[in-house]
Amino acid sequence: MEFNWGLMFSSYAAVFTPGILFMICVGTTAGIVIGALPGLTATMGVALLVPLTFGRPPLESLSMLMGIYCGAMYGGAISAILIRTPGTPAAAATVMEGYPMAKRGEAGRAMAMALFASFFGGVVGAVIMTFASPFISSIALEFGPVEYFALAIFGLSVIISISGRSLIKGMMAGFFGLLISAIGFDPISGFPRFTFGMVEMMEGPPFIPTLIGLFAVSEVFNEVQKSGVTQQVKAKLDQYLPSWQDIKYCFRELCRSSIIGTVIGAIPGAGGDIAAFISYGEAKRASKNPERYGHGEIEGLAASECANNSCSGGAMIPLLSLGVPGDAVTAVLLGAFVIQGLQPGPMLYKEHIDIVYQIFASMMLAQFAMQFIGMAGIQLFARVIMVDRAILTPAIFVLSVVGAFAMRSNIFDVYTTLAFGILGYVMTRYDYPLSPILLALILGPMAEANLRRAMVISGGDPSILVSRPIAIGLMVLAVISLILSIRGHQKVEARMAEMEAQFEKAVAD
């Protein structure tokens, strides 16, 4: 499949018509709003709007869906930064740096960087998708159960990086997450485990309600506890774009994370949430100032936001060239393509190469639409943080409960949210990090199901785990990352202790 420049230009021309541009903008705006609302994910947004595209011309409907996809990936960051609630699972890693920044009065700076990082990642993802599809798609098929198991193990090694001050507490949170991820159907035999006979527990702890409970509801409880002494967060909201200094400071991470994001996106089944966590962990490990992570380090925010948006471009690669969706959203998109009478895969390149290029073009334009619509929205959204806490806190609570219910229209999910809210509150009070639970919930089932699948295939022979080069590579990376992160952690601890000693000395003087 060699690159056709002429066709690329004519595709851009086809997309650059008022009608299509309008559809992209509508999609992007809808996507940002859906992404920002906790409980509504990019997957749901696309799924709910697919029926609207029945009977519309392919380019029109696909460009709108591209807009939703890209917009929602950024939208999740808005609520993550402002109200500590990841709007989508992919924004879970954004909370760790974004919310502390907003609390410090830097909501504007964080929002501007999140938007720019999303844009940057999205553009890099779209460029790689345009030029390297055939090459990257060959990697995607190499991933079988063994490779997925190795990838999950590598991802779990990031727990060290997101543990906060105490490694032991981080590990405890991580193992707790792995433990509860074992609830529900056994992935191979199909019988339910640890459900106490409750139908609602059969698929394990529902992810979105757990996420909302751990982050949003726990913060609501925390605010309630402080009632009476709440101070208004003062936020400077004069920024649309990050300052040149911030961009320069984060540039290395932006480049690295957008590549990591695209590659992880291209692996079928691994989506923006995993990409964001791995990029965040890598950014922290490579950083000169790892002690600033967890306290509002803009570099970490840039890494996670950049990765989850570049992931979209990556996920489109196997969808278009192999007919294999790269993540949950593209799985829904696959359906949308089929409804349009287009079957993604090698045949699409042969029969409808024009559509393929038009999708490249609309994906790219969706990034620009996202940057401009996002800039227009920053002022509006960021004002949320200026709202009196006495009004904002109950509003977040209501939003959380509604968001938890919206996913499956099930009251059980609301109870889950409240239970995890209480758990999150207690854990935060005693300095246990919350993110390892999430990471374990995402990767635990992936590790378990694929390990067991590999065992079924090999007939119980564990040597299959070291029989494939990609898997060995990932396992080695996991070990290296583990060792380096632990050593890095010790260094951070030493530096923190030093700073605290100085501070105490200064106070004593």
Residues forming contacts to another protein in the complex (CB under 8 A) are 43-44, 46-48, 50-51, 54-55, 140-145, 185-192, 199-200, 202-203, 206, 268-269, 322-325, 331-332, 334-335, 338-341, 343-347, 408-410, 449, 453, 456-457, 459
Of the pair 112, 401, the CB lying nearest another protein is at 401
> Whole-number minimum distance, CB 150 to another protein, in Å?
13
Q: How far is the CB of 356 from another protein (least distance, A)?
A: 14
Cβ proximity to another protein: between 12 and 412 the closer is 412
Smallest separation, CB 65 to another protein (Å): 11
Residue whose CB is less far from another protein, 145 or 433:
145
Spatial distance between the Cα atoms of 142 and 268, rounded to a whole number of angstroms? 10
Of the two residues 41 and 287, which places its CB atom closer to another protein in the complex? 41
From CA 306, how far away is CA 253, in angstroms rounded? 9
CB of 204 to another protein, least distance (A): 10
H, E, C per residue of 365-397: HHHHHHHHHHHHHHHHHHHHHHCCHHHHHHHHH
What tokens were used for 291?
């002690």
The three-state (H, E, C) secondary structure of 235-247, written as one string: CCCCCCCCCHHHH
Residue 205: CB minimum distance to another protein, A: 11
Q: What is the 3-state secondary structure (H, E, C) of 97-161?
A: HHHHHHHCCCHHHHHHHHHHHHHHHHHHHHHHHHHHHHHHHHHHHHCCHHHHHHHHHHHHHHHHC
Helix/strand/coil for 39: coil
Judge contact between 277 and 433, C-beta under 8 A: no
Question: Parallel, antiparallel, or unpaired for β 192-193 and 184-185?
Answer: antiparallel
Which 3 state secondary structure label does DSSP give 327? coil
Nearer to another protein, 160 or 442 (CB): 442
The Cα–Cα gap between 85 and 217 comes to 9
Report the greatest alpha carbon distance in the chain.
78
Among 116, 121, 71, smallest CA distance to 370 is for 71
Of 142 and 500, which has the nearer Cβ to another protein?
142
Positive or negative, the CA dihedral 381, 246, 117, 210 is negative
Nearer to another protein, 190 or 228 (CB): 190
Cα–Cα distance for residue pair 326/319, rounded to 1 Å? 6
CA-based nearest residue to 29, from 75, 91, 89: 75
For another protein, which is the closer residue by CB, 117 or 324?
324
The residue (of 207 and 293) whose beta carbon lies closer to another protein is 207
Q: CB neighbours (10 Å) of residue 267?
A: 27
Concatenated DSSP letters of 470-493: HHHHHHHHHHHHHHHHHHHHHHHH
Cβ atoms of 108 and 238 closer than 8 Å: yes
Select 134 or 345, whichever has its Cβ closest to another protein. Answer: 345
Q: What is the spatial distance between Cα 291 and Cα 280, in angstroms, rounded to a whole number? A: 14
Q: Report yes or no: 448 and 185 within 8 Å, Cβ to Cβ.
A: no
Looking at this protein, which amino acid is placed at residue 149? F
**Closest to another protein by CB, 71 or 204:** 204
Pairwise CA distance, residues 343 & 338, whole Å:
5
In angstroms, rounded to a whole number, what is the distance separating the alpha carbons of residues 98 and 63? 30
In this structure, what are the phi and psi dihedrals at residue 150, rounded to the nearest 5 degrees?
Answer: -65, -40
Q: How far is the CB of 200 from another protein (least distance, A)?
A: 6
Q: Nearest approach, Cβ of 271 to another protein (angstroms)? A: 13
Q: Give 401's contacts (C-beta < 8 A, 6+ positions apart).
A: 414, 417, 418
The owner of tokens 């989506």 is: 271
Shortest Å distance, C-beta 292 to another protein: 38
Q: Smallest distance, Å, CB 462 to another protein? A: 16
Closer residue to another protein, CB minimum distance, 319 or 384: 319
CB of 407 vs another protein, minimal distance in Å: 8
Residue type (1 letter), 30: A
Beta carbon of residue 304, minimum distance to another protein (angstroms, whole number): 25
Q: How far is the CB of 330 from another protein (least distance, A)?
A: 10
Least distance to another protein from the beta carbon of 306, Å?
26
Select 175 or 415, whichever has its Cβ closest to another protein: 415
